[in-house]
Structure 1
């Protein structure tokens, strides 16, 4: 009997990524399409169905050759009911029913989960997590997201909000967050937060700095610019990078103190700063961890990049 395949779908506001994988998690084919959020996002689910059916036919396969489709999506997920609410970047103002609709359109069983959680599952299964039972994943992008795996299981919490690492308070008197609180990690360690910190620090800085010149000239800067300049020894950029990494390390240390994961994995676009970022974050973590955690929890950079979502989504399918 031929082993059945898995399909992973990573639904984002700009692109939808797809992959066909073996049961062991090896990607065999992958592709992506643009996310069409027009008409209140009503075309997104039909586009997913059409793309899956087209590629199954293109690869001369049949629906019964697949164990299932795993879908990672933004928004509030009700995995039991197969629904998504509040995915505003997809223009979904009302509740949608992807499990019902995609199953009907493809003839393949579907499981859904939050996008940050599936990225955590992906890194745990095939990436930096080495398939450990206890892993915390934090993703530093436009915002800060996360996923927590304990005892081999995703932690969802009473209302599905577990793993919202971006809303851990690190500075009660800090910047206002979109969530309504002050000093959330997201306001400091996200790509947008880092730029905000840089502008704030530049307004009080009087020394010699290329970053200061760029900001005073009104140039648009990115988180990458800040870390690239910090690596070159730019004084203001180092002040910003140290504050960002100290804040991130402080938050991750307290999460590690609470959960004692084997790995704390840092992913997302900001993690492209690499070992420079990791070493600074590790230093801050060690300063705020107690002895047992220091001995048993390791910080690592994510290794799967954009592939974490489709791999983690596919891992939602329980293979018999």
Structure 2
């Protein structure tokens, strides 16, 4: 058995999984940690009841991750993890090998292992959440990049002011959380994170909600076209909670067709698909990362 963690800004998920990826046990606890030592202590506490059955630990976490050394840089929602070796800390505390991987890259690995990218030579996996996470698969393998930043599409500029040297980035324009918040605000919803209610407005044909949604979809489609030109993958897989809404993929296909119709010089034809894994993608990808490293 393997013990797997998914470190998120709101919750830390953990699961006991077997070699086939079957989830034997799964739970979560609120993310309420202020230091690396506190984080490890809470992770070890969840591990202890199962330690006799566990042969390895796999972790998905935010930040730039050196998978060979186990060191995290930046850390995203866990800034105190900057330059900390989480893999070594867990190995020492638990007595079994531990590996870590960036959360978006973990999602890509999940699709490569048992999802829509299985058997595919090249793919880009994007997770639409608070920002936009990304993972690049080339020659059937996850590509990390020279500085471990391949797929960090949240930082890609969507516009740029040459006077202020600032502008919007893809992490904001492609944010599913921002999309839901805009629709919720426009429709006067008390809960600005109620994605289900927001998509009900879209499905019901509400003009205000659809206008916001269409603007989001066209901005996203434009970035997918750029990614297709840059990497030319076989598929671009869209993940994150909103990927469960079929209308997202449908509208993206329509938006790409419309962009090509208006600008016939376009040659790119991105094959856009929905990811198989959604909420548990990082758990599966983290486990597969362990297998790639040790087994």
| Shorter-normalised TM range | 0.7 to 0.9
Matched, 1:77 2:65: yes
Could you tell me which residue of structure 2 aligns to residue 285 of structure 1?
A: 256
Is it true that 1:188 corresponds to 2:176 in the alignment?
Answer: no
SS in 2 for 1:89: coil
**Residue in structure 2 matching 1:244, options 216, 221, 224:** 216
Deviations 1:156-181 (A, max 9, x none): 222222112223333446xx9xxx84
Secondary structure at the counterpart of residue 183 of structure 1 = coil
TM superposition shift of 1:183? 2.6
Unpaired segments of 5 or more residues in structure 1? 200-210
Q: Name the counterpart of 2:284.
A: 311
Q: Is 2:230 the counterpart of 1:258?
A: yes
Shift of 1:149: 1.2
Conserved in 2, the CA contact under 8 Å of 1:188 and 1:197? Answer: no
User: Structure 2 CA distance, aligned partners of 1:55 and 1:121?
Assistant: 25
Q: 2:109 aligns with which of 113, 121, 142?
A: 121
Question: Match for residue 28 of structure 2?
Answer: 32
Q: How many residues align?
A: 286
Counterpart check, 1:154 vs 2:127: no
Map of 2:18 onto structure 1: 22
Kindly state the Cα deviation for residue 148 of structure 1 after the two structures are TM-superposed: 1.1
Comparing 306-315 with 9-18, which one deviates more in the overlay? Answer: 9-18
Correspondence 1:229 to 2:229 = no
- Cα distance in structure 2, aligned partners of 1:12 and 1:268: 13
Q: The residue matched to 1:17 in structure 2 has which SS? A: strand
Distance (Å, rounded) in 2 between the aligned partners of 1:257 and 1:97:
36
Note the alpha carbon deviations across 1:170-197, whole angstroms, 9 max, x for none. 3446xx9xxx841322222213432576
CA deviations over 1:250-280 (Å, ceiling 9, x no partner): 11122122222222111112324x1111111
Q: Is the 8 A contact 1:116 1:147 kept in 2?
A: yes
Residue of structure 2 equivalent to 1:99: 87
Question: How far 1:117 sits from its partner (Å)?
Answer: 0.5
After TM superposition, the score normalised by the length of structure 2 is 0.84
State the superposition RMSD in angstroms: 2.8
2:120 alignment partner, SS class? coil
TM-score between the two structures when normalised by the length of structure 1 = 0.78
Name structure 2 gaps, 5 residues minimum: none
Query: Stretches of 4+ moved more than 6 A in 1?
Result: 289-292
For the 8 Å contact 1:137–1:148, the answer to whether it is kept is yes
**Could you say what secondary structure the match of 1:30 adopts?**
strand
Among residues 8, 14, 30, which one is paired with 1:12 in the alignment?
A: 8
Q: Is the 8 A contact 2:116 2:237 kept in 1?
A: yes
